[in-house]
Amino acid sequence: MPKQARALFLLLGYAANQINMLFKLIIFSTNKTPDDVEQFLSGAQSQMLARFAIGALHEAWELIRKGLLNNRIGSEYTEALDSGGRTALDQLKKLFGGSNILSKLRNDFVFHHPYDIPKMDAAFEAAANDAAWDNDWNWYFSKSNLNSFYFLSDFVVMHGIARSVGETDLITAQKKIMAEVKTASQAMTELIKSLTALFWRKHFGSEMTGELCAIIDTAPKDIDVWIPFFIEIPDDEAPVARKIPGSYDN
Protein backbone atom coordinates (compact mmCIF):
# COMPACT_ATOMS: atom_id res chain seq x y z
CA MET A 1 0.00 0.00 0.00
CA PRO A 2 1.43 3.45 -0.88
CA LYS A 3 2.52 5.42 2.19
CA GLN A 4 -0.02 8.18 1.61
CA ALA A 5 -2.91 5.72 1.36
CA ARG A 6 -1.60 3.71 4.32
CA ALA A 7 -1.47 6.80 6.54
CA LEU A 8 -5.07 7.71 5.66
CA PHE A 9 -6.22 4.11 6.16
CA LEU A 10 -4.74 3.96 9.67
CA LEU A 11 -5.90 7.44 10.68
CA LEU A 12 -9.47 6.67 9.67
CA GLY A 13 -9.51 3.74 12.08
CA TYR A 14 -7.94 5.91 14.78
CA ALA A 15 -10.67 8.53 14.30
CA ALA A 16 -13.43 5.89 14.39
CA ASN A 17 -12.07 4.52 17.69
CA GLN A 18 -12.26 7.96 19.32
CA ILE A 19 -15.76 8.69 18.05
CA ASN A 20 -17.16 5.31 19.12
CA MET A 21 -15.62 5.58 22.59
CA LEU A 22 -16.95 9.09 23.18
CA PHE A 23 -20.42 8.28 21.90
CA LYS A 24 -20.62 5.27 24.23
CA LEU A 25 -19.60 7.49 27.14
CA ILE A 26 -22.33 9.99 26.23
CA ILE A 27 -24.91 7.18 26.21
CA PHE A 28 -23.69 5.89 29.57
CA SER A 29 -23.66 9.35 31.12
CA THR A 30 -27.27 10.05 30.12
CA ASN A 31 -28.76 6.67 31.07
CA LYS A 32 -29.95 7.89 34.46
CA THR A 33 -31.30 11.13 35.87
CA PRO A 34 -30.32 11.39 39.53
CA ASP A 35 -31.88 13.77 42.02
CA ASP A 36 -30.92 17.14 43.45
CA VAL A 37 -27.29 18.21 43.22
CA GLU A 38 -26.07 15.19 41.29
CA GLN A 39 -28.65 15.89 38.58
CA PHE A 40 -26.96 19.23 37.82
CA LEU A 41 -23.45 17.87 37.97
CA SER A 42 -24.20 14.67 36.06
CA GLY A 43 -25.96 16.73 33.38
CA ALA A 44 -22.98 19.06 33.09
CA GLN A 45 -20.68 16.03 32.86
CA SER A 46 -22.78 14.69 29.96
CA GLN A 47 -22.53 18.04 28.18
CA MET A 48 -18.76 18.08 28.56
CA LEU A 49 -18.54 14.62 27.00
CA ALA A 50 -20.66 15.87 24.10
CA ARG A 51 -18.21 18.75 23.63
CA PHE A 52 -15.28 16.33 23.46
CA ALA A 53 -17.22 14.35 20.85
CA ILE A 54 -17.70 17.53 18.82
CA GLY A 55 -13.96 18.10 18.84
CA ALA A 56 -13.25 14.52 17.74
CA LEU A 57 -15.88 14.73 14.98
CA HIS A 58 -14.45 18.02 13.71
CA GLU A 59 -10.94 16.56 13.56
CA ALA A 60 -12.25 13.46 11.77
CA TRP A 61 -13.96 15.68 9.20
CA GLU A 62 -10.73 17.60 8.68
CA LEU A 63 -9.04 14.26 8.01
CA ILE A 64 -11.73 13.36 5.45
CA ARG A 65 -11.58 16.79 3.87
CA LYS A 66 -7.80 17.00 3.57
CA GLY A 67 -6.94 13.35 3.07
CA LEU A 68 -9.82 12.32 0.84
CA LEU A 69 -11.87 15.14 -0.69
CA ASN A 70 -8.99 17.54 -1.41
CA ASN A 71 -6.45 14.89 -2.24
CA ARG A 72 -5.66 13.33 -5.62
CA ILE A 73 -5.78 9.77 -4.30
CA GLY A 74 -9.13 10.39 -2.63
CA SER A 75 -11.26 10.53 -5.78
CA GLU A 76 -10.77 6.85 -6.59
CA TYR A 77 -12.17 5.92 -3.19
CA THR A 78 -15.06 8.41 -3.03
CA GLU A 79 -16.24 7.35 -6.50
CA ALA A 80 -16.33 3.70 -5.39
CA LEU A 81 -18.27 4.19 -2.14
CA ASP A 82 -21.29 1.96 -1.59
CA SER A 83 -24.73 3.52 -1.08
CA GLY A 84 -24.29 3.71 2.69
CA GLY A 85 -20.93 5.43 2.35
CA ARG A 86 -22.23 7.93 -0.20
CA THR A 87 -25.23 8.79 1.97
CA ALA A 88 -22.96 9.25 5.00
CA LEU A 89 -20.58 11.49 3.05
CA ASP A 90 -23.47 13.63 1.82
CA GLN A 91 -24.75 13.98 5.39
CA LEU A 92 -21.33 15.06 6.61
CA LYS A 93 -20.92 17.60 3.82
CA LYS A 94 -24.27 19.08 4.83
CA LEU A 95 -23.45 19.09 8.55
CA PHE A 96 -20.03 20.67 8.11
CA GLY A 97 -21.24 23.14 5.51
CA GLY A 98 -23.77 25.95 5.82
CA SER A 99 -24.21 27.15 9.40
CA ASN A 100 -21.78 24.45 10.55
CA ILE A 101 -22.69 24.31 14.24
CA LEU A 102 -20.13 21.63 15.07
CA SER A 103 -17.11 23.49 13.68
CA LYS A 104 -18.32 26.77 15.17
CA LEU A 105 -18.55 25.22 18.62
CA ARG A 106 -15.19 23.52 18.20
CA ASN A 107 -13.54 26.82 17.36
CA ASP A 108 -15.38 28.84 20.03
CA PHE A 109 -15.46 26.62 23.13
CA VAL A 110 -14.68 22.94 22.51
CA PHE A 111 -11.06 21.94 23.26
CA HIS A 112 -10.40 25.62 23.90
CA HIS A 113 -10.44 27.94 26.90
CA PRO A 114 -11.37 31.11 25.03
CA TYR A 115 -9.68 34.02 26.74
CA ASP A 116 -11.89 36.26 24.66
CA ILE A 117 -13.19 38.98 26.98
CA PRO A 118 -16.11 40.19 24.80
CA LYS A 119 -17.25 36.62 24.11
CA MET A 120 -17.06 35.56 27.76
CA ASP A 121 -18.67 38.80 28.90
CA ALA A 122 -21.58 38.20 26.52
CA ALA A 123 -21.93 34.68 27.91
CA PHE A 124 -21.89 36.06 31.46
CA GLU A 125 -24.57 38.64 30.64
CA ALA A 126 -26.75 35.98 28.99
CA ALA A 127 -26.43 33.80 32.09
CA ALA A 128 -27.11 36.71 34.45
CA ASN A 129 -30.28 37.60 32.56
CA ASP A 130 -31.59 34.02 32.56
CA ALA A 131 -33.96 34.22 35.54
CA ALA A 132 -34.85 30.53 35.35
CA TRP A 133 -31.37 29.69 36.67
CA ASP A 134 -31.09 32.33 39.41
CA ASN A 135 -30.65 29.73 42.16
CA ASP A 136 -27.91 27.81 40.39
CA TRP A 137 -24.97 30.20 40.56
CA ASN A 138 -22.91 27.88 42.72
CA TRP A 139 -19.64 26.06 43.12
CA TYR A 140 -19.71 22.56 44.65
CA PHE A 141 -16.73 21.53 46.75
CA SER A 142 -16.04 18.14 48.27
CA LYS A 143 -13.20 16.85 50.43
CA SER A 144 -11.85 15.14 47.32
CA ASN A 145 -11.02 17.42 44.41
CA LEU A 146 -12.31 14.73 42.03
CA ASN A 147 -15.81 15.25 43.45
CA SER A 148 -15.72 19.06 43.27
CA PHE A 149 -17.30 20.96 40.40
CA TYR A 150 -17.06 24.60 39.39
CA PHE A 151 -20.65 24.67 38.19
CA LEU A 152 -20.82 28.45 37.86
CA SER A 153 -17.95 28.45 35.36
CA ASP A 154 -19.55 25.72 33.26
CA PHE A 155 -22.94 27.40 33.55
CA VAL A 156 -21.65 30.63 32.02
CA VAL A 157 -19.87 28.72 29.22
CA MET A 158 -23.12 26.84 28.55
CA HIS A 159 -24.79 30.17 27.82
CA GLY A 160 -21.93 31.10 25.53
CA ILE A 161 -22.38 27.81 23.68
CA ALA A 162 -26.13 28.42 23.40
CA ARG A 163 -25.44 31.84 21.88
CA SER A 164 -23.06 30.22 19.38
CA VAL A 165 -25.85 27.97 18.07
CA GLY A 166 -28.43 30.76 18.00
CA GLU A 167 -30.44 29.73 21.05
CA THR A 168 -31.25 31.40 24.36
CA ASP A 169 -32.68 28.40 26.21
CA LEU A 170 -30.05 25.93 27.46
CA ILE A 171 -32.22 22.83 27.08
CA THR A 172 -33.21 23.75 23.52
CA ALA A 173 -29.57 24.43 22.66
CA GLN A 174 -28.46 21.09 24.10
CA LYS A 175 -31.08 19.15 22.13
CA LYS A 176 -30.00 20.95 18.96
CA ILE A 177 -26.34 20.16 19.58
CA MET A 178 -26.95 16.53 20.50
CA ALA A 179 -29.03 15.96 17.36
CA GLU A 180 -26.06 17.11 15.26
CA VAL A 181 -23.56 15.10 17.32
CA LYS A 182 -25.64 11.92 16.92
CA THR A 183 -26.10 12.38 13.17
CA ALA A 184 -22.45 13.25 12.60
CA SER A 185 -21.21 10.36 14.74
CA GLN A 186 -23.34 7.79 12.93
CA ALA A 187 -22.49 9.19 9.49
CA MET A 188 -18.77 9.38 10.24
CA THR A 189 -18.51 5.79 11.47
CA GLU A 190 -20.57 4.56 8.48
CA LEU A 191 -18.31 6.43 6.06
CA ILE A 192 -15.15 5.11 7.71
CA LYS A 193 -16.53 1.56 7.61
CA SER A 194 -17.24 1.92 3.89
CA LEU A 195 -13.81 3.40 3.21
CA THR A 196 -12.10 0.65 5.18
CA ALA A 197 -13.76 -1.96 2.98
CA LEU A 198 -12.58 -0.10 -0.12
CA PHE A 199 -9.00 0.15 1.10
CA TRP A 200 -9.00 -3.53 2.00
CA ARG A 201 -10.35 -4.74 -1.33
CA LYS A 202 -8.00 -2.52 -3.34
CA HIS A 203 -4.80 -3.39 -1.50
CA PHE A 204 -5.38 -6.83 0.07
CA GLY A 205 -8.10 -8.60 -1.87
CA SER A 206 -11.75 -9.51 -1.53
CA GLU A 207 -11.34 -11.87 1.43
CA MET A 208 -10.33 -11.39 5.06
CA THR A 209 -9.20 -14.19 7.33
CA GLY A 210 -9.47 -14.10 11.08
CA GLU A 211 -9.84 -16.28 14.13
CA LEU A 212 -12.15 -16.15 17.10
CA CYS A 213 -10.12 -14.74 19.99
CA ALA A 214 -12.83 -14.21 22.62
CA ILE A 215 -16.53 -14.52 23.33
CA ILE A 216 -17.78 -11.69 25.52
CA ASP A 217 -20.87 -13.04 27.24
CA THR A 218 -20.78 -10.69 30.24
CA ALA A 219 -21.18 -7.41 28.36
CA PRO A 220 -23.99 -5.30 29.87
CA LYS A 221 -26.75 -3.74 27.79
CA ASP A 222 -26.07 -0.14 26.85
CA ILE A 223 -29.00 1.08 28.95
CA ASP A 224 -27.67 -0.74 32.04
CA VAL A 225 -24.44 1.26 32.26
CA TRP A 226 -24.36 4.65 33.95
CA ILE A 227 -21.44 6.96 34.66
CA PRO A 228 -22.20 8.77 37.93
CA PHE A 229 -20.62 12.09 38.78
CA PHE A 230 -19.64 11.37 42.38
CA ILE A 231 -17.22 8.57 43.20
CA GLU A 232 -15.96 7.25 46.53
CA ILE A 233 -12.22 7.80 46.93
CA PRO A 234 -10.24 5.26 49.03
CA ASP A 235 -9.52 6.59 52.54
CA ASP A 236 -11.95 9.44 51.90
CA GLU A 237 -15.27 10.17 53.52
CA ALA A 238 -18.47 9.54 51.55
CA PRO A 239 -18.82 12.15 48.79
CA VAL A 240 -20.41 15.33 50.13
CA ALA A 241 -20.95 18.40 47.98
CA ARG A 242 -20.88 21.72 49.81
CA LYS A 243 -22.59 24.50 47.91
CA ILE A 244 -20.81 27.84 47.81
CA PRO A 245 -23.07 30.51 46.30
CA GLY A 246 -21.64 32.68 43.55
CA SER A 247 -22.69 36.17 42.51
CA TYR A 248 -24.37 37.34 39.36
CA ASP A 249 -24.58 41.05 40.15
CA ASN A 250 -23.66 43.18 37.16
The whole-angstrom separation of Cα 167 and Cα 178 is: 14
The whole-angstrom separation of Cα 28 and Cα 223 is: 7
At residue 207, the pLDDT reads 84
- Among residues 168, 74, 64, 190, the alpha carbon closest in space to that of 123 is found at 168
Q: Delimit the domains of the chain by residue range.
A: 3-204+235-245
To which H or E segment does residue 245 belong? strand 242-245
Q: pLDDT (tens digit, 9 = 90+) per residue, 150-208?
A: 999 999 999 999 999 999 999 999 999 999 999 999 999 999 999 999 999 998 888 88
- Among residues 119, 136, 134, 132, the alpha carbon closest in space to that of 169 is found at 132
Q: pLDDT (tens digit, 9 = 90+) per residue, 201-222?
A: 998 888 888 899 999 999 999 9
Mean pLDDT, to the nearest integer, of 66-77? Answer: 86
Burial class of 49 by CB neighbour count within 10 A (0 to 12, 13 to 18, 19+): buried
Cα separation values, 27 from 43, 49, 60, 113, Å? 12, 10, 20, 25
The whole-angstrom separation of Cα 127 and Cα 134 is: 9
